[in-house]
Amino acid sequence: MKKFFVTLILIILKINAFSQVTIHFIDSEKVHPDSFYFKIYAPINTQGTLFANPYYLDTIKAYDITNNRSKTTVEYQIKDTSIGFFADLFGKETILIPNDQVNIQIHRRGVRDDSIKINNKFYAYWAYDYIYQGKNKYLYTILDTLTYYTGYVYKYFIKFEPDKYSLNDYYDSVSKIYSSRLKIIHQYTSKYNIPKSIAELVNAECYAAYIINLLIPLQGNDILPEKYARTLKNIDFNYRYLFKTPLYADAYLDYVEKYLVKYLQQTTNPENTFQATYLAIKNAFPNSNTGAILLSRYIMNNEKKHFACFDSLCNNFKFNYPTASQIHILDSLVERHREKNKITKNDAFSALLLSATMQFFNIQKCLNKKPIIINCWASWCSPCIKEIPILEAKMKEYNDNIDIIYISFDNNKSDWLKKQNELGINQQQSYLLINNFKSAMANYFDITAIPRLILVDADGNIVNEHLPSPNNDAFKNNIDALLKKSKLY
């Protein structure tokens, strides 16, 4: 095969001022009356105010229509060579280079279903395909090449199925994918004469994905194979390209919480885990901008969990990072947290429900000295409807050891009853939530979207207010752990 070489611009990974990368979005399939382009999510180190604006700042410089082709020219303000991802559905990753420009031809992928796969193997998490044009086009397509052969780096995580294979097998599987990616990066960058700095940047993103995959099976009490334990112990976040890629922050937060705290410290209480993880991050990055961004992100991720220590940790953050740009955001979270805390669990469980027989109930009356799953759904919610048969099948595995109630967020009573009957939901387990999203229950659990599963123990204590989907291994793990603790399994 003919070997192509690309004349690359000088890439500087450390610069003091912001520069621009210019992207020309060309849509030959549809003429837009106005501009058409995608925002680009920035990695965590790039924007000091990442929570307020997770995107690179952009400016539309030109828009024109020629020969039925729309062309939008956009400048993105960037500081370092890094990896960002387009805000196209769940995002398509790309390399971003200061002072460079590239043309992107946009092509729609068509109907989004499992039949449209990359290389007939991997699901695409975006609605468009891009064809890059320009002197550095091979550099911009390196992540697409990885996706074609190994799955999307940013989203392709490996499920752990303990009934099918062991931890040793799982470790070998994810390690093989990681090794394949490193090999492809080496071959690709050698073939197209791409600088070592870019190869290492892409390696860093693959390493972060590898870490996240390794952490997926951890439950806190696992006996890991020696090579598995050794790899986790030796994970090093003092990497040259630390946090210059989208996955690195997620990998770090996962590693601290799941491995350093839950696994090594055997911390099982969620609030204790929250506090211990906060302290570990603060100690690792004292008085630094990276620490401020990581901690504020971690606090934000846990804001909905009603932890009693939430306000005090936010105050601790303000004391330790007095000049952090995230303080005003945390102040608003504290205020919202205090408002939510005025609504109690008793208020939530006393929210008015209407039964299928037109009797008024509340959740408290539904508790029957057994653990219970509360399924929040609605007749108009497609993901809810798809999930219900899977949930029903899972419930049969537990016999009568756990109950389930279906709480509809429908506005219309007839729509609820009609869909309930179509789905074969037991009328004795089905209720309509009065005032749906404005109810005390919705406010207490911060339910702004459905489906939503809430796990409650036999004494009415909330075990998990964000129970994973029944398709997820974590669903079974949560239920099994509760039943074992309740001595019902």
Percent of the chain with pLDDT over 70: 91
Distance CA 462, CA 456 (A): 5
Q: Distance between the two ends of the chain, CA-based, in angstroms?
A: 61
Dump pLDDT digits (tens) for 189-241: 999 999 999 999 999 999 999 999 999 988 766 789 999 999 999 998 877 77
pLDDT at 421: 92
Decide: 45 and 293 in contact? Cβ < 8 Å.
yes
Q: Is the pLDDT of residue 1 over 50?
A: no
pLDDT at 407: 94
What's the per-residue H, E or C state across 286-325? CCCHHHHHHHHHHHHHCHHHCCCCHHHHHHHHHHHCCCCC
Q: Is the pLDDT of residue 115 over 60?
A: no
State mean pLDDT over 116-126: 74
Domain span(s) for CATH 3.40.30.10 in the chain = 345-485
Task: For residue 303, give the amino acid letter.
Answer: E
Q: Is the pLDDT of residue 14 over 50?
A: no
pLDDT at 415: 92
Q: Is the pLDDT of residue 125 over 80?
A: no
Dump pLDDT digits (tens) for 386-395: 899 999 988 8
Q: Tell the burial category of 434 from Cβ atoms under 10 Å away from its Cβ (0-12, 13-18, 19+).
A: middle
In our burial notation (b when 16+ CB lie closer than 10 A, e otherwise), range 461-484 reads: ebbbbebeebeeebbbebbebbbe
pLDDT at 35: 86
Q: Is the pLDDT of residue 53 over 70?
A: no
Going by C-beta distance under 8 Å and a sequence separation of 6 or more, which residues neighbour residue 178? Answer: 206, 207, 209, 210, 213
State mean pLDDT over 234-250: 81
Looking at per-residue pLDDT, the higher value among 304 and 255 belongs to: 255
State mean pLDDT over 83-92: 82
Residue 73, Cβ neighbours under 10 Å: how many? Answer: 19
Q: Is-cis flag, bond preceding 451, omega within 30?
A: yes
Q: Is the pLDDT of residue 142 over 90?
A: yes
pTM of the full structure: 0.73
pLDDT at 111: 52
Looking at per-residue pLDDT, the higher value among 306 and 84 belongs to: 84
Least confident piece of the model among 25-34, 99-108, 138-147, 169-178: 25-34
Dump pLDDT digits (tens) for 295-325: 988 998 887 777 888 888 999 999 988 888 8
Percent of the chain with pLDDT over 90: 37
Looking at per-residue pLDDT, the higher value among 125 and 324 belongs to: 324
Query: For residue 103, what pLDDT band results from cuts at 50, 70 and 90?
Result: very high
Residue 83's beta-bridge partner residues?
Answer: 95
Query: For residue 95, what pLDDT band results from cuts at 50, 70 and 90?
Result: very high
Least confident piece of the model among 47-56, 95-104, 207-216, 437-446: 47-56
pLDDT at 4: 37
CA atoms within 13 A on the CB side of 223: 0
Own/partner long-range contacts of 424-429 (Cβ < 8 Å, ≥24 apart):
424/392, 425/388, 427/355, 427/356, 427/357, 428/356, 429/403, 429/404, 429/405
Least confident piece of the model among 35-44, 71-80, 144-153: 35-44
What's the mean pLDDT when you consider all of the chain?
84
pLDDT at 484: 81
Q: Is the pLDDT of residue 3 over 80?
A: no
Residue 69's beta-bridge partner residues?
Answer: 66
- The token duo for 84 is 């960002």
The highest-confidence range among 85-99, 177-191, 236-250, by mean pLDDT, is: 177-191
Distance CA 122, CA 149 (A): 9
Decide: 154 and 210 in contact? Cβ < 8 Å.
no
Strands 430-433 and 403-408: parallel
pLDDT at 48: 41
The highest-confidence range among 113-117, 260-264, 323-327, by mean pLDDT, is: 260-264
What's the per-residue H, E or C state across the chain? CCCCCCCCCCCCCCCCCCEEEEEEEEECCCCCCCCCCCCEECCCCCCCCCCCCCECCEEEEEEEEECCEEEEEEEEEECCCEEEEECCCCCEEEEECCCCEEEEEEEECCCCCCCCEECCCEECCCCEEEEEECCCHHHHCHHHHHHHHHCCCCCCCCCCCCCCCCHHHHHHHHHHHHHHHHHHHHHHHHHCCCCHHHHHHHHHHHHHHHHHHHHCCCCCCCCCCHHHHHHHHCCCCCCCCCCCCHHHHHHHHHHHHHHHHHHCCCCCCHHHHHHHHHHHHHHHCCCCHHHHHHHHHHHHHCHHHCCCCHHHHHHHHHHHCCCCCCHHHHHHHHHHHHHHHCCCHHHHHCCCEEECCCCEECHHHHCCCCCEEEEEECCCCHHHHHHHHHHHHHHHCCCCCCEEEEEECCCCHHHHHHHHHHHCCCHHHEEEECCHHHCHHHHHCCCCCCCEEEEECCCCCEEECCCCCCCCHHHHHHHHHHHHHCCCC
∠ CA 173-128-83, rounded to 5°: 60
Q: Is the pLDDT of residue 384 over 50?
A: yes
∠ CA 310-312-317, rounded to 5°: 95
Q: Give domain 345-485's CATH superfamily.
A: Glutaredoxin (3.40.30.10)
